[in-house]
Amino acid sequence: MQDLIIEYKWALRETRKMYRFYKDTAEVNLTAERISNKKIISSIVSNIIYPRMAAVRKTAGAR
């Protein structure tokens, strides 16, 4: 289980690094492909975070 948590944190950190590149660049300077990449990476971050938050919410209510 500890390995999964480490892998989760690593994946989230790496994905946020990729997103930071697009976030720091003005959208006017991005090509259509990079704008699409920004949206995809943003949704990946959301998909990584959401299940973790849902699991925490379930366990908090069970106490």
Host H or E run for residue 45: helix 32-62
Host H or E run for residue 27: none
Name the token pair of 38: 């920004």
| 61 pLDDT above the threshold of 60 | no
Q: Where are the domains of the chain?
A: 2-62
Confidence of residue 62 (pLDDT cuts 50, 70, 90): low
Q: What's the pLDDT at 44?
A: 87
Average pLDDT over residues 34-40: 88
Of the two residues 42 and 62, the one the predictor is more confident about is: 42
| 18 pLDDT above the threshold of 60 | yes
Owner of token pair 């790496």: 14
Q: What's the pLDDT at 52?
A: 63
CA 19, distance to chain mean position in Å, is 8
CB distance 23 to 38 below 8 Å: yes
